[in-house]
A = this chain, B = another copy of it.
Amino acid sequence: MPLAFALGGVVAPPPIQQAASTTSSDVFLGLFVLFVAAKLGEELARRLGQPAVVGELLGGVLVGPYALGWAQLTEPAAVFSEFGVVILLFAVGLEVRIDDLLAVGRPAALTAVIGMLLPIAGGYAVGIAIGYPSESAIYVGLALAATSIGITSRVLADLGVLDRRFSRVILGAAVIDDILVLIAIGIVEGLTTGDTSTSAIGLVISAVGLLGLGFLAARRARGLPREVFTWPLFADTPLVPAFIFMFGMALLSAYLGLAAIIGAFVAGLIIAETEAREEIEREIHPLSLIFTPFFFAYTGAQLDLRTLTDPAVLALVVALIVIGVLTKTVGGLVGAWSTGRWSATAVGFGMSPRGEVGIVVANLGLASGLLSPTAFSAVLVAVIGTTIVAPYLLAFAIPRAIREESAGGEGQGGAPVEPAPA
């Protein structure tokens, strides 16, 4: 969904169905299989002491079209998946206070900028090294640029560390990162297609404006009473108006070329300041339990294992994953160094997963002929690979970052380390 409007023409419009058509049971069976696979994967992972979300991803890989083939990548499954990550980021936004987020503005911005430029350079270098023309190589870099914090959010929530300083740096950096990617895509599109980018500039201004207004709204929303949500007769509880607000912000965000999850996150930030926060948190939880597994299983199901059978492609995939993780880690280390060594590492690892935006960029490259089908597959697998690797990296870094925070000021950055609020 993200970028589909801004970039135009990547995604075919859905066919308009006959009035009387009903949907095949196969679609429902596929959804059922995805959901059950995610939950069985989670069960197995947790019993083996692994991150729950890795189990959901691998459950999806297993039943997906490139392994058992029990679940296809249907459009309804894509929609459930997107709803899953939108609701997840909304729920994360509900747990974050806008002031805490603004307080980490500087390390977040630095992390985003560095963590954006390095992957583009790294991906470009890999592309050039294996003989791609420079227009193609730049797409490889661009696909590696955009963080998707769905999985990181889930890991942070599972570990109960959303209120930590490094979590807020990650969330802030992800928002900034998304704007930067929007700009970068506009520039690269302009360079490769020769299109004038005035409309792209307009989009960037609108996107920045949306986020600015959103942040302002969050500060203004403090203490708004529950009745702001429950005045309509249809709203016995605040859930339905909150859902409409979340959904609308996600759509608006997508229209402006940002990721839908950014809009949902900002919607959560705003509602977090109102008095309806706790009630909405409680009511959104069941929706999150049902929708988010689709996101992780669907992501896993996109992993094309056949790509990995060609040693050359496998090498490329591994190189892209390593560069993808390393460059974001450096971005976090440098950008968030002031927060402490392990905290900065956790930030870098947390920014590593790529997602839908990377997939959309790869699609753009494929559609314009600048990425070969093989390069496209390799980039896709690498994008999903960064997502599977991240929970392990985070599980390693986060306990250390917490100890570091507790110890207070042991970070080796020389800069003062502020203790996280309780």
Contact = CB atoms under 8 A, between A and B. Distances in A.
Given A247-B35, A248-B32, A234 B52 contact: yes
Interface in A1-57: 1-2, 4-5, 10-14, 16-29, 31-32, 35-36, 39, 42-43, 46-47, 52
B13 A24 contact: yes
A226 B209 CA distance: 49
Contact of A43 (B5, B46, B232): B232
B304 A19 contact: yes
Contacts of A43: 232-234
Contact of A17 (B47, B74, B366): B74
A244 B39 CA distance: 10
Interface string A208-231: 000000000000000000000000
B1 A47 contact: no
Given A16-B73, A290-B239, A25 B42 contact: no
A37 to B, nearest CB: 11
A359 interface: yes
A327 B271 CA distance: 51
B247 A20 contact: no
Contact of A22 (B21, B356, B366): B356
B82 A20 contact: no
Contacts of A287: 286-287, 290
A65 B254 CA distance: 23
B78 A17 contact: yes
A380 interface: yes
A76 interface: yes
Contacts of A47: 233
A232 B376 CA distance: 39
Q: Top 7 nearest A-B pairs by Cβ distance?
A: A76-B79, A46-B233, A23-B78, A42-B234, A283-B286, A11-B24, A76-B76
Contact of A232 (B1, B39, B82, B289): B39
A62 interface: no
Contacts of A240: 39, 289-290
Nearest to A23: B78
Nearest to A359: B20
A6 B99 CA distance: 58
A72 interface: yes
A363 B20 contact: yes
A243 interface: yes
A4 B32 contact: no
B247 A79 contact: no
A70 interface: no
A142 interface: no
B233 A35 contact: no
A297 interface: no
A197 B324 CA distance: 60
Contacts of A10: 22
A126 interface: no
A19 B289 contact: no
25 contacts: A4-B23, A11-B22, A12-B24, A14-B23, A14-B26, A14-B75, A14-B76, A16-B73, A17-B72, A17-B78, A20-B302, A20-B376, A21-B363, A22-B356, A25-B251, A27-B79, A28-B254, A32-B247, A32-B248, A35-B243, A76-B76, A79-B79, A239-B286, A284-B286, A287-B290
